[in-house]
């Protein structure tokens, strides 16, 4: 009998589905909605899910926003393009066919797909006196624009499945914003207040789904003893604060991104792997010992455009991330999962920012991904919270999880 398709929930620092742990291996493909608008590119959405599911990936993170741009979902505040909304409906219905759950992000910090700067443009057009893109976080009118968008998306009734988004188990979680930063207030207060308001707001519209912020994971002023783990000194000045931000009511799990090639140096070096190890471990420790919630490494990858890049390095990076997370999984810990940035089907090279992984062209990476997925699926199915494994079962699993070094 097939398990009912039910909502992901959390219990302490574990995600659970149908009462069993849900540790996952996943990926990002941010452009799914825009590709689904056009009949000529819609098939690529299906291809991504097909290929991801073939290597056991069970969670995908993608954009549920496109503000004021070409193919915008939200053309102007509270004015939506129904064709683009139908494309998002298709993405969600297609994900379910392949048993893939979605983390849907609701706005961008950056200018791509509109972002906070588009909200500020809208505000200026409405006659508001705005001086910085960070007014997105503080101006009451812009906050109300964002809330209206949240409400519109969460209450959307899917035209393909007839299920309201806020009731749909295909949606794993809502993400408040992709990589929020508020550089105009390094104390972190301005962003903290925005998170406090919006996390509770999302929960008021949709109490069923999990919520996360979308942060990169930089340590801030509230934890001077942790800033040593940041990739650089600038990271503690961007207005974010990993621990403080995640203690907010309504936030269910932590998110972290991993980009040594963007944060430390573009040229690939062994120090990137060392950083990756300590960055993951420090956040897993905080999630388990301090926050009491799962942590998801929601973006990690390496650009083929980096000096010194080769596919062996990419495989090493991916293996490193997987291995450290597996150590947490094995203990039933807080390392809930990770999402590779980013998975592409063939024939979409023109969208590649350097980070694209095309599984059919990367057999070694594909094998590493597949093995991690299998290990997690095995762990989830063998390990019920409600029963202690008998020794044989436990020993067999330990052997499987660890018999070959990644």
Kindly name the residue from 94, 175, 288, 299 that is annotated as catalytic: 299
Please indicate whether residue 179 is annotated as part of the active site: yes
What 8-state DSSP symbol labels residue 234?
G
Cα separation, 285 vs 78, whole angstroms? 41
Please indicate whether residue 196 is annotated as part of the active site: no
Two tokens, residue 101: 């759950």
Kindly name the residue from 179, 212, 216, 288 that is annotated as catalytic: 179
Contact yes or no for 258/300 (Cβ under 8 A): yes
- Torsion sign, CA atoms 372, 377, 382, 387: positive
Cβ atoms within 10 Å of 403's Cβ, excluding its own: 7
Two tokens, residue 373: 């997925």
* Buried/exposed code over 140-170 (b: 16+ C-beta within 10 A; e: otherwise): ebbbebbbebbbbbbebebeeeebebbebbb
Q: What CA–CA distances, in Å, run from 221 to 17, 264, 284, 334, 366?
A: 36, 21, 19, 24, 40
Q: Which residue numbers are catalytic?
A: 179, 299
């Amino acid at each position: 009998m097939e398990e009912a398709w039910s909502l992901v929930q959390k219990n302490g620092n574990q995600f659970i589905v149908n009462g069993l742990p849900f540790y996952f291996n996943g990926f990002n493909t941010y452009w799914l909605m825009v590709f689904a608008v056009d009949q000529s590119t819609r098939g690529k959405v299906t291809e991504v899910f097909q290929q991801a599911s073939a290597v056991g990936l069970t969670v995908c993170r993608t954009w549920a926003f496109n503000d004021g741009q070409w193919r915008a979902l939200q053309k102007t505040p509270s004015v939506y393009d129904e064709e683009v909304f139908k494309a998002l409906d298709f993405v969600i219905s297609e994900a379910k066919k392949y048993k893939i759950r979605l983390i849907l992000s609701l706005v961008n910090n950056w200018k791509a797909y509109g972002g906070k700067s588009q909200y500020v443009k809208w505000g200026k057009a409405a006659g508001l006196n705005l001086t910085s893109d960070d007014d997105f976080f503080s101006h009451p009118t812009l906050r109300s624009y964002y809330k209206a968008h949240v409400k519109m998306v969460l209450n959307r009734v899917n035209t393909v499945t007839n299920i309201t988004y806020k009731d749909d188990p295909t949606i794993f979680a809502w993400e408040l914003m992709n990589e929020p930063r508020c550089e105009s207030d390094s104390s972190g207060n301005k962003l903290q207040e925005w998170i406090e308001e919006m996390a509770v707001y999302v929960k008021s519209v949709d109490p069923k789904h999990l919520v996360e912020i979308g942060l990169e994971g930089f340590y801030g002023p509230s934890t001077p003893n942790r800033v040593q783990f940041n990739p650089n000194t600038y990271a503690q000045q961007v207005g974010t604060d990993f621990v403080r931000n995640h203690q907010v009511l309504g936030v269910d799990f932590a998110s972290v991104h991993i980009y040594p090639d963007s944060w430390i140096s573009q040229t690939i070096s062994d120090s990137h792997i060392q950083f990756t190890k300590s960055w993951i471990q420090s956040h897993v420790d905080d999630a388990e010992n301090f926050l009491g919630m799962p942590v998801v490494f929601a973006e990690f990858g390496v650009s083929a455009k980096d000096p010194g890049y080769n596919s062996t390095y990419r495989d090493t990076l991916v293996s490193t991330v997987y291995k450290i997370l597996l150590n947490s999984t094995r203990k039933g810990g807080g390392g809930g999962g990770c999402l590779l940035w980013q998975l592409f089907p063939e024939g979409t090279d023109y969208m590649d920012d350097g980070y694209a992984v095309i599984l059919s062209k990367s057999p070694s990476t594909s094998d590493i991904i597949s093995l991690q997925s299998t290990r997690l699926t095995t762990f989830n199915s063998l390990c019920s919270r409600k029963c202690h494994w008998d020794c044989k079962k436990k020993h067999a699993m330990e052997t499987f999880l660890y018999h070959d070094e990644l």
